Amino acid sequence: MAVPKIYLETTMFSFYYEERTAPPYRELKTQVRRIFDLIKAGEYEPYTSPHTTREIDDEPNEKKRGKMWGLIPEYAIKILDITDEVKRLANLYIREKTISPLHLTDAAHIAISVVNGLDYIVSLNFSHIVRAWTIEHVRQVNAREDYKGIGIYRPMEVLEIYENDSGLHE
């Protein structure tokens, strides 16, 4: 079986170094770090994009920003190009109201993953990416445009898939 190719959206980098300690944040940070552990173990082939690196550059905490940048070489995360086809598909998602025009970068995260034939997008962006409306409309647009489906998941869901595929889930 081929190693799944996953796209790490910006929130994955940010939550790796999450500083809030309330239970929901602590749990999300643990899940994110587990995904990175699985990447290190060769269970996933990681990708991201210039949109993510620009968003990392926008991190106001200089120390955290530097650490987030450090994850890219540490985990051998490949940065995919923004092609004309990526732009076309992202704009189509906007036109079809899959994603709000105010969030073109989020549409681009999805489009980059789809155009490059990745298997999953892993994100903690529950407002614009990992939500039922977006997932369903991405599925519809991709089917019509002859792209394969893409899984859009929270880290916990990716971990559940891994456990089920690995026979570790009871």
Note the pLDDT tens digit of each residue in 150-169.
999 999 999 999 988 876 43
Q: pLDDT tens-digit profile of 41-72?
A: 999 999 999 999 999 999 999 999 999 999 99
Q: Is the pTM of this model over 0.75?
A: yes
Q: pLDDT tens-digit profile of 109-132?
A: 999 999 999 999 999 999 999 999
101 CB burial (10 A radius; 0-12, 13-18, 19+): exposed
Give the mean pLDDT of 143-154. Answer: 96
Domain definitions of the chain by residue range? 5-166
Q: Taking the CB of residue 157, how many other CB atoms lie within 10 A of it?
A: 15
CATH for the stretch 5-166: 3.40.50.1010
Across the chain, mean pLDDT equals: 95
